[in-house]
A and B are shown apart, each in its own frame.
Chain A
Amino acid sequence: AQRVTQPEKLLSVFKGAPVELKCNYSYSGSPELFWYVQYSRQRLQLLLRHISRESIKGFTADLNKGETSFHLKKPFAQEEDSAMYYCALTLGPSGGSYIPTFGRGTSLIVHP
């Protein structure tokens, strides 16, 4: 079965520092990867997906099939980036399911 691993429960950085939230997955096919974010007292929402190859709020993520990773990066963290970040995977058309499997999440705290 597919699995998503986010090794860090908590990541604490200072404003302006680079951020990398790690996500590794286990699936032998061609998955689709997503990052969802949950700000304090708000709902879980999509941040970005690998097929879009876009930068949202300064965040980018590159799918590395060799390392089976989809790490989320931002060069200069802002206080408003403090939130819970979830990596998610779907099996895509080759896997026959589009139901996202989520990691356990990483809490990012950006200090002033």
Chain B
Amino acid sequence: EPEVTQTPSHQVTQMGQEVILRCVPISNHLYFYWYRQILGQKVEFLVSFYNNEISEKSEIFDDQFSVERPDGSNFTLKIRSTKLEDSAMYFCASSELIAGSPLHFGNGTRLTVT
């Protein structure tokens, strides 16, 4: 069964550095998402992406964040100038259609900002 893959599984970075989290969505899916989960808190929506542009974003997704689909397979989340409070589990997900289709999640990237 096809899966969403995320790399790396764990990323440690220093405050102020830029990080890029990578995701390969399921190949025939059209919608891509990033969520994050700070330890002990809820899974929070960051951004959704369709047809090479952002379709929705949350208040969390400020100018520090950006997403890109640089080629036909990868979907990346860039965090510029990381802060301690960016430490979280970041989940990528994809879905076939947006209208009620379930999300297929990756295993997540644990980001630790020191």
Q: Is the CB of A99 within 8 A of B33?
A: yes
Give 1 or 0 for each of B72-107: 1 = CB within 8 Å of chain A CB: 000000000000000000010000001111111111
Given contacts A44-B91, A99-B48, A105-B42, A34 and B102 within 8 Å (CB-CB): yes
Q: Is the CB of A102 within 8 A of B102?
A: no
Q: Is the CB of B105 within 8 A of A44?
A: yes
Return chain B residues, CB-CB under 8 Å to A97. 56
What number of B residues sit within 8 Å (CB to CB) of A? 23
Q: Which of A21-29, A75-83, A85-93 contacts B (4 or more CB under 8 A)?
A: A85-93
Indicate if A43 sits at the interface (CB-CB under 8 A): yes
Return chain A residues, CB-CB under 8 Å to B104. 45
Indicate if A74 sits at the interface (CB-CB under 8 A): no
Interface residues of B, Cβ cutoff 8 Å to A: 3-4, 33, 35, 41-45, 48, 56, 91, 98-108
Question: Known contacts A98-B100, A99-B33; can you find 6 more A-B pairs with CB under 8 A?
Answer: A42-B107, A43-B108, A44-B91, A44-B105, A99-B45, A102-B45
